[in-house]
Structure 1
Amino acid sequence: MTFIPASWPRRLRSQEWFGGSSKDAIYHRSWMKNQGLPADLLDGRPVIGICNTWSELTPCNAHLRDLAERVKFGVYEAGGFPVEFPVFSPSESTLRPTAMMYRNLCAMDVEEALRGKCIDGVVLLAGCDKTTPALLMGAASVDLPAIVVSGRPMLNGHFRGERVGSGTHLWKFSEAVRAGEMTAEEFVEAEASMSRSPGSCNTMGTASTMASMAEALGMALSGNAAIPAVDSRRRVMAHLTGRRIVQMVKDDLKPSDIMTKAAFENAIRTNAAIGGSTNAVIHLLAMAGRTKDVTLTLDDWDRLGRDVPTILNLMPSGKYLMEEFFYAGGLPVVIKRLGEAGLLHRDALTVSGGTIWDEVKDVRNWNEDVILPVEKALTQSGGIAVLRGNLAPGGAVLKPSAATATLMQHRGRAVVFEDIDDYKARINDPDLDIDETCVMVLKNCGPRGYPGMAEVGNMGLPPKILKKGITDMVRISDARMSGTAFGTVVLHTSPEAAMGGPLAVVQNGDMIELDVAGRRLHLDIPDAELQARLATWSAEKSGANPRPASGYAMLYHDRVMGADTGADFDFLVGHRGNAVGKEAH
């Protein structure tokens, strides 16, 4: 018995493999049938890939095997044939030197798997910080019908009556130990309360931010971003997504139809409203670089987010966690607020087949202490501040909602760390020449310099400063910081030090001016002196990591672009389509 829906408007892509009675078609079908598949599954049904980043070494994604089964239920119900396949899973918490180094590797894996495999559409199962952007980058380059299901946050943590946010409290407790306010034994005791269920960070860290970006872009069903990992409604979301992707294949609804400039602008404003991670800047720039027609720049981030109030009262900017966000109504409530304020492209298309406004116009806010009224916003000017000046001609970023207001305009003496090892060797020295008015500068931690641009930009303060009760100082680097972190931290300084950017020649004692309102980052030395320093700089003398001799690390070093353009590989930028290559048999 053959299942051939009369309603399919065109020959399915999968039939390039399975259709007909040629030797090649029989070859493909016969090997698939060794799994015990009925013949009709391969003769006219849409084949739906389930791209799974499940791994026991990626704790944020370790529950995705269960969600994959739920997706399959939905695909079968809608008349499709689901096939699950793995791709490289860059774990945020277990991968060295940093997961960011392997985001592009994962994106390559996804792209080539989607293009080379016999599928008509794909469900992207993502969870942690890098898997969401990597899967969307690969999907955008291929442009098959695609939809995201996120693994989403773990349950709230609790320690001695205090609400504990994963990541955010790691930094807070660590600083408390160094300040002598918490014992090492208490820190270890708190460990068990930080991650008490499957899922990713329960703060508005990068994982939560990127799930929110997928929803705001229209690439996930409405409500996907906030449902806790262990809530039964997460399974329902996966089930419904399985149903939906089959219809998307029928309609030929592709990422290029959804990931438009209007969608990216919606996502940037949503990021501002939720106090999202600075990492979203790099990831959305890279995702836009894979689309057919979208041009996105750092200036778009500053232009679009500058006047958006941060209305989500979540750590690290606020006090609540993702559970409360979900119970309050989740991301649809935030998007509705943007629409009501005239800050949303209401007609942007989503994977639902309808507009983003259609998805959110009737939702309600169930807790106005979690999703705040605009007049009570954490900051009226949220978003990501893009700074420029002679210290960052290519731009640098700062997250105002996580910064200290009194430090947003500051002039201080530079205390320079040449790399992360230099920082670790000197930061605890009681004789370090530093006070709270200084500006901490960290070099050689950008995409090429680390390599991989690790989350070390939120340098811990010296113990002698912490013991004064000081919890924040201005910090500048070419690194990233975790979305769970906080502080007046200037990040992604471009060009990076390892590429000979001005950051590379900052010296101890130089005066640095930060003016967030004026969007200015200035090294206060004569221009002639700056140029003279740059003329004598060399990578060999700078302390930057040498070029790796072989392997992926060498490829990364040679081909990674700057943070200001998304830190993708230069040869991966662009849209390559889903054409099937020549048959090999």
Structure 2
Amino acid sequence: MKPEQLRSSRWFAPDDLRSFGHRSRMMQLGYAEEEFLERPMIGVMNTWSELNACHGHFPERVKDVKRGIAQAGGFGVEMPSLSVDESFTKPTSMLYRNMLAMEVEEMIRSHPLDGVVLMGGCDKTTPGLVMGAITAGVPMIFLPAGPMLRGHYAGKVLGSGSDAWKYWDERRAGAITDEEWLGIQGGIARSVGTCMTMGTASTMTAITDALGLTLPGASSVPAADSGHQRMSSECGRRIVDMVWEDLTPNKIITDAAVQNAATVAMATGCSTNAVVHLIAIARRAGVDLSLDDLDSLGRTTPLIANIRPSGKDYLMEDFYYAGGLRALMKQLAERLDTSCVTVTGKSMAEGLEGAKVYNDDVIRPLSNPVYQEGSLAVLRGNLCPDGAVIKPAACDPKYHMHEGPALVFDSYPEMKAAIDDEHLDVTPDHVLVLRNAGPLGGPGFPEWGMLPIPKALIKQGHRDMLRISDARMSGTSYGACVLHVCPEAFIGGPLVLLRTGDTIRLDLPNRSLDMLVDDDELQRRKAEWTAPAPKFDRGYGWMFARHVTQADKGCDFDYLEAGFGSAAGEPDIY
């Protein structure tokens, strides 16, 4: 590409009144023409906020990125983006993933940007940034926030999320004192960065890495490591070259790249949220990826990353020291299409050259996996005709085949009140069911799917039981949890017809989930059902409710799904 072909040149190069105004405003900002004319203008999309602990280091990383951009002869501009944090955003961050995607797409389209560096990591920021940039179509590179350091308390290593659920059950059982609980609270998250288990954050940055959208192995670098600073400045240098090379997303995100990403996800013990986000990303890129495709990979891809919660012993910092994602992908090379091009402009095979495993208990060989099959399985049946997902490696194997009576809750508050009732009539064979917690019912598809074990059973020593919902769950969660039941109950999916006491049968080997109720009775119940009132009557929520797709389609907006966009091919409106 030549300087006059830069997208930014449409704003700055012509000798006309509008371009005079553009150049004048740049000079008002303190820049001389030689700083921005005929140089790639790079947007640094930063999802930092003072309430997003995962991204607490991003103000410094912006400086590193812009330093790299300047070194390569580009002009970097920070573009603050919606900070969809996982901890504080209510009712759920998932409600706003598509808002972030829309914002990124429109910010790129409406500004003189030739390429973008996407700074994200906290769960929904990665897919939101990537989805928006895919549709805009300019060269992009993703900068992962990186995992936080290991948690520690009283001589024990703690994993964010996973150990919170574990010790909360112990506290409910009366086995944790106030002092111990406070110590765990302060020790479980010791630095900036995302959850250091293989939760949704690390899953999605690994997927983005495997898609070829990061520098090779960038997703493994801990947030607090000095290597993260060096990686950030390298992102800045590389994006400038990508602009000159016209290396746009459609040249990277191919059918084969998506297949690679899904395979890597299965091998890492990925979050169940990978299903929703990867389908949405693929559909934005015009790649047909279905639940059945993911289930097929789940049946054949061994889990080789021994990282909590699917693994037993290690965290993301250990994974990095063991060789990181490059080493894991090297182990998987025979199952990947390593000819795929990455943001480096080179093939995946070239990016994996020299990668080694330094601890084969953390990153297992294919001959000695943590779990023989992959991380996820897709179920179908009269409870979930359009699919549901479960994480077999993260639950007690005795629940892989289970039959028991349903205990049904219509809302989260109802479930929460009942679960804490020590006199609740429940046995370990019961199946807890939460409904009206999907994309529309939640609203926004909240992470309520790891239903707490009833207090009565906790005190008896039980720590797992079969749970079913149309909700999601945190990627750091574990247990026999069936999620994303589709269609959701709120729109009349079969889950709404279930009654307390009905028998549910899960047959994981045969991928089936059914309520043992005859069809005539189900038809009678369906006739009695009345659709609930919408959750929103204004604003973004109103738009969300009218256009969001169901979980099996990625929960994107129906008018944003299809095909690549091209900011470079926009009408001449400058």
Instruction: Give the TM-score band, short-chain normalised.
Output: over 0.9
Aligned counterpart, 1:452: 444
**Counterpart position of 1:309:** 302
Residue 541 of structure 2 aligns to which amino acid in structure 1?
A: A
Alignment match of 1:240 (pick from 225, 230, 234): 234
Equivalent position of 1:491 in the other structure? 483
In the aligned structure 2, how far is the partner of 1:251 from the partner of 1:576? Answer: 19
2:390 to 398, 402, 415: 398
Please give the alpha-carbon distance, in whole angstroms, between the structure 1 residues aligned to 2:212 and 2:140.
Answer: 11
Q: Offset of 1:431 from its aligned partner?
A: 2.5
Instruction: Please say if residues 173 and 459 of structure 2, whose CA atoms lie closer than 8 Å, have aligned partners that are also in contact.
Output: yes
Partner of 2:180: 186
Paired amino acid for 2:553: T
* 1:388-441 deviation digits (Å, cap 9, x = unpaired): 011000000011121111111111110111111110121111222211011111
* Contact preservation (8 Å) 1:116, 1:581: no
* CA distance in structure 2 between the aligned counterparts of 1:484 and 1:191, rounded to whole angstroms: 16
Match of 1:229 in 2: 223
**One-letter amino acid of the counterpart of residue 119, structure 1:** L
Written as runs of structure 1 = structure 2, the 5 A alignment for 1:20-419 is 20-291=14-285, 293-318=286-311, 319-339=313-333, 342-419=334-411
Runs (4 or more) in structure 1 with deviation over 3 Å come to 579-584
Counterparts of 1:43 and 1:131, CA distance in 2: 31
Unaligned runs of 5+ in 1: 1-6
Is the 8 Å Cα contact of residues 137 and 249 (structure 2) preserved in structure 1? yes
Please say if residues 3 and 9 of structure 2, whose CA atoms lie closer than 8 Å, have aligned partners that are also in contact. no
> Partner of 1:521 in structure 2?
513
Aligned to 2:431: 439
Checking the alignment, whether the CA contact within 8 Å between 1:302 and 1:383 is kept in structure 2 is no
Distance 1:528 1:336 in 2: 54
How much has 1:560 moved relative to structure 2? Answer: 1.1
Return the TM-score normalized by structure 1.
0.96
Match of 1:4 in 2: none
CA contact (8 A) 1:306 1:382 kept: yes
Q: What are the superposed Cα offsets for residues 191-214 of structure 1, whole Å, 9 maximum, x if unpaired?
A: 110111111101111111111011
What is the deviation of 1:311?
A: 0.8
Secondary structure at the counterpart of residue 69 of structure 1: helix
Deviation at 1:383, TM superposition (A): 2.8
Counterpart-to-counterpart distance in 2, 1:547 and 1:377: 45
Counterpart pick for 2:548 among 553, 560, 566: 560
Q: Which residue of 1 aligns with 2:535?
A: 547
Superposition CA RMSD, Å: 1.3
What TM-score results when the alignment is normalised by the length of structure 2? 0.97
* 1:233-252 Cα deviation digits (max 9, x unpaired): 00111111111111111111
Deviation at 1:580, TM superposition (A): 4.0
**SS at structure 1 position matched to 2:527:** helix
The 2-side partners of 1:301 and 1:475 are apart by 22
| Residue type of the alignment partner of 1:473 | M
The residue matched to 2:256 in structure 1 has which SS? helix
C-alpha distance in 2 between matches for 1:309 and 1:143: 34
Contact 2:441 2:535 in 1 (8 A): no
Determine the structure 2 residue equivalent to 1:571. 559
Letter in 1 for 2:383: L
Query: 1 CA distance for matches of 2:91 and 2:304?
Result: 35
CA distance in structure 2 between the partners assigned to 1:374 and 1:466 by the alignment: 37
Which blocks of at least 5 consecutive residues in structure 2 are unaligned?
none
Partner of 1:3: none
Partners of 1:459 and 1:185 in 2: how far apart? 26
Q: 1:477 pairs with 459, 469, 489, which one?
A: 469
8 Å CA contact 1:269, 1:383 repeated in 2: no
Aligned to 2:484, the other structure's residue is in SS state strand
Which of 524, 537, 540 is equivalent to 2:529? Answer: 537
SS at match of 2:11: helix
Contact 1:285 1:297 in 2 (8 A): yes
